[in-house]
Every structure is written in structure tokens, then in C-alpha cells.
Structure 1
Amino acid sequence: MVSSKTLKDVQKLTGCLASLNRFIAKSTDRCLPFFKALKKGKGVKWNEDCEKAFQALKEYLGRAPLLSKPVAGEILYMYLSVSEAATSSVLVRQKEGVQKPIYYISKALLPAETRYSSAEKMALALIIAARKLRPYFQAHKIGVYTNCPLKLILQKLEVSGRLTKWAIELSKFDVEYLLRTAIKGQAVADFVVEFTEPNMEVARMMVEQTKKTFNWQLRVDGSSNTHGNGAGVVVSTPEGDSVECALHFDFKATNNQAKYEALIAGLRVCTVLGADEVEIFSDSQVIVNQVLDEYQARDENMIA
């Protein structure tokens, strides 16, 4: 290959590279200088960045690894990577202790997507791969190697509607999230090495924050009126599952008493589920402050 000189040459180059996309790791990032040159229109200029990218691409293609073919029923693995301009992924299989690439995927981020958080970009990389490689995801169990707590993020109750939609879409497949450790294969190592330290630091911070955020949570509420007494209990697990209970009392109770009964019932549910530390949410200041030992109950039915 020789360096391009005209707009037509650059268009021809990017067209050829598009057809080789599945064979090139992080092709969008590698070809970004060419795309920027095309945006300049007729006045395209083959600058120093284009030449560096072109020479690096030639070197890569000269040693590009051969793609492997998966065997029916085997577990496949995926590595994800994000940059400011693109998301990338590689699907691999493990053979004789070495991970061999099956398919590379890379996609340029839209202007709105560049403003996603690091977590959302990682989730986007996975959802793009799942859509592109749907036959592989349908026929195989996929282990996703990442230092980003994707499973917890996608299961968090407070996630955005976008992440919730992606979580539902991914739930159709057998996906397991694995902590990335040693890389077994040079091709995969070359792919992962470009995952920059700042992003790794963000991932580590996200893991620490996740440990603090994803704990057992208990939400309780109760009410009392002329039609009867009742309460509602919602227990959220660290894995993102929830248990909901509706209670009806056969005895008369005040609003605070109904809320207190809901709290007791909720704590019993947490105990049965194996919770050792629970974060409690209630709109009753009386109940909250009594639990915190800041209020002293005067009603004998509420003295714990």
C-alpha cells in the first residue's frame, strides 16, 4: 500500500478498511485520522497524523493474527475497550491455554454518545457487540472480561432508562461478567494494552463506589385509616433483585405503628435472605429516630 494523496484515494482506503473491520482490532481508533481528513471535503490534506496512522496500520496488517473458528457449545470470551471517539471489543475462544480472536468490532461514537459516562460507554460497547454478533451470543455462553462492574451497574435500581433498556436486551443471552486478570494470548494482549491507565483508574474508582452503594436496602411504609391497616415492604439485594411484600393487619394501629410493623416484617425478610447489614428507608421520623436511639418511644406497643 502507498500513501493516499487525493480525496478519492482516502475514500478508497477507508472503504477497503471497512471491509476488513472484523480482522482489525480497534479499527475505528486506528482509522480516525483518515475520517477526520474526509470531513474536510475537497480540500483533503494528507497530514502527519494520517501518515503515522497509515504506517502503523501497515505494520499491524503485516502481523495481524489469524481469526479462529468457534466450536459448538464451547464458552466464548469477550474483552471491551472504550476511547473518547469509539468503542471496541474482541470475541475470543480459549484453546490449549491461549486465547485466540474470533471477531473484532469497532464503532465510532455519535456526538451524544461521547458524553456518556465511562460505565455507559462500556455497556454500549457490550450491547453493540451483542447486536453485531447475535448468532454467537445465542449459540454460546459469553464470559465478559472487564474491570468495570458492569453487572452491578446494569442491575442497579436507580440506573438510567438507557441502561435499563440495555440490561433487558442482554438478559436474553447467557452472559457472565468476569474480572479481567492475566491475558492469555498476544493478540488479546495487544488489544487490551491500549486500554489507558486513566480509564483503568476510573474503573477501579467505580468498583470501590459500587462496593459502597450496592448493599442490602429496606424500604418500608405503612398506613392506617377507617378501611383498615396495612404496610408495604421492598427489600433490594446487592445483586439488584427485589422482594416485595404487602401486609394487612387484623388489629387497629396508628400510622406510626403500621410503619413500625412494616419495619419489623422487613427486617425479618432480610434475616431470612441472609442480610448482615441493611440500609433502611422510611418517611417516618418517629421510626427512624427511634431506631437511631435519638427518640424514646412512649407507646408501650412501640418500645423495642
Structure 2
Amino acid sequence: MEERCNAAGQTNRPRTEQEGPSMQQLGRTGEPGEACEAKNRGNAAIRDIGMISGGPTNGDSGRGRKSHERQWEIHAVGCSQEQAAGPIISFGPQDLEGLELPHDDALIIKAIIANNRVARVFVDTGSSVNVMFRSAFEEMQIDTSELEPVATSLYDFTGNEVRPMGQIKLAISLGSEPLVRTRRSTFLVVDSPSSYNVILGRPALYEFRATISTFRQKIKFSVGEHVGEVRGEQRVSR
């Protein structure tokens, strides 16, 4: 068999050898590899687009932020009995009932904030703060004198600096009777146009110990030994 293969020469070489040089050879010889690199260079990043960040979440001063970092460094691994207690939260096929599939919709919900039923609340796990836009704040008829000053700037998705009007701590309720949970969380009030009334960021979601499924358009959280939930408004998000 070896003699026959040698006599046949290149005609019986493995197909991979007949089809052309290997990927390593392409990279060494130049043209195909260089052309690919040139195309990739045309997609080089020219600006950074991040997420909502900043704000006074970790302290509204340099001293406050350093204190927060020290607390993080000495935090023991594990959790308290209170944090560990509660029902198991899970999602199943029943959570897809009533949804239009397939979808890639944002999670938009309704919530009761300071005794106001607020629509167009965008659930954003990437936001380091809860944001309330000025139009919604004014409709709540809360006096601006109740706003506390904020020294730390907020940065939007494109990295632009936004100076908040102030911050205020408000009660927020999620769920429907009898499975309703209420917590107090701080909102930064921003004078900026938006299609949302409120952005519910990580601080509020942590207060509720919320478990989120954007695919199932639901938020779930413990209410005593039971599980409360909020379903997203899929049509509104479109």
C-alpha cells in the first residue's frame, strides 16, 4: 500500500493537502491572513458605550466610597440566616403562558412608588442606581425641597456626564395582593428625556432579593414563605 501511494504521488495525497495550504501556512505566506487582518482593523473600536454608572451608590464622597471598599474587603463569605431563609424561586413552562414568542423585548413593568401606580418602569440589572425622570417626579407632586443634594455625577450609556437634580428615598411595592412586598429605595431624579418613567436598577432589585427572567418577562421575589411575582408588559416594551 505504501509503494502504491508513493507511486501515485500527489493524486492520492489527503484531501486537506490538495485543497491548499494550512491555516498556519496562510498566516506565514501573507496574503489571505493580511487581508483578514485588514478587514478586522476596519471594525476597530472608536468609542466606548457602557452602562449607567456612577451616582452615590457606593457613597457620595471619596471617603464614603473608600469605606464601602473596606467593607467589601472584610465581608465574610456566606450569608446570614435571614438572607438564606425563604422559598425556592424557580421558573417553568407555565411562566411562558400568554407570551408572544420568540421575542427580545425589554422587561417593562408597573410598580407602586410613593402611592402612585407608575407605568413604564424599565428593569435594568446593568444600572448601578435607580433613576426617576423629572416628568414622573413632577406628576407625583413631591416638593423638590425634599430632594437631597448629590455630589456624584451619573454617567449614561454613552459615558456622558449627567448631573442629577437630587436624590430621594421612596417606598416601592411590587406584586399583587396578597403577595405584595414593599421596600424603600433611593432614586436619583434626572432632568433628561426618556421613554421610561423610572429605571429600576440593582439597588432596588437587591432590596427585593429579586430573581429576574427577561425571557419569561417576569420578576419573582419571596413574600414570607411564598413567592410573589410581577409580569412584564410585553406590548408596552414594543
Bin the TM-score by the shorter chain. Answer: under 0.3
TM-score (norm 2): 0.18
Q: Tell me which protein shows more strand as a share of its residues.
A: 2
TM-score (norm 1): 0.15
